[in-house]
């Protein structure tokens, strides 16, 4: 009984984290409200794991990520994932704008 409960709890936590860090579509291709506003994109798609002020939570602190990674390196992480971050949370032009915005955070 304890094993089943533990497996259920771990499964639920995993689904919650993956759902919070991903989902949605690339709104830059379908005219959504997010297109062009990297701060809003990050707020809606990344804050669950990286915190509302990018201070870190489940994911790392991103407040000065531009001093560690270039725009291209950040874009690569967004596209391909890294560590516990899933690939493709943001895509297309939205990903490029977010990478540029984050790269300026030094």
CATH number for position 75: 1.10.760.10
**Can you give the pLDDT at residue 25?**
44
What is the token pair recorded at 2? 């304890």
Number of structural domains (the chain) is: 1
Q: 105: pLDDT confidence band, cut at 50, 70 and 90?
A: very high
Domain containing 99: what range? Answer: 2-103
pTM exceeds 0.75, yes or no: no
What is the token pair recorded at 60? 């790392």
What is the token pair recorded at 19? 């759902």
Q: For residues 90 and 27, what is the distance between their CA atoms, to the nearest angstrom?
A: 9
Are 105 and 64 spatial neighbours (Cβ–Cβ below 8 Å)?
yes
What is the token pair recorded at 94? 């939205």
Q: 74: pLDDT confidence band, cut at 50, 70 and 90?
A: very high
Q: For residues 44 and 21, what is the distance between their CA atoms, to the nearest angstrom?
A: 10
What is the token pair recorded at 74? 């950040």
Half-sphere exposure in the Cβ direction for 38 (13 Å, CA): 15
């Amino acid at each position: 009984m304890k094993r089943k409960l533990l497996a259920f709890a771990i499964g639920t936590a995993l689904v919650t984290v993956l759902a919070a860090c991903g989902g949605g579509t690339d709104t830059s291709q379908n005219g959504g409200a997010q297109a062009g506003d990297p701060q809003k994109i990050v707020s809606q798609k990344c804050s669950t794991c990286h915190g509302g002020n990018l201070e870190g939570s489940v994911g790392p602190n991103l407040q000065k990520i531009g001093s560690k990674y270039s725009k291209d390196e950040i874009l690569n992480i967004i596209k391909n994932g890294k560590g516990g971050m899933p690939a493709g949370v943001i895509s297309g032009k939205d990903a490029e704008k977010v990478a540029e915005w984050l790269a300026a955070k030094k």
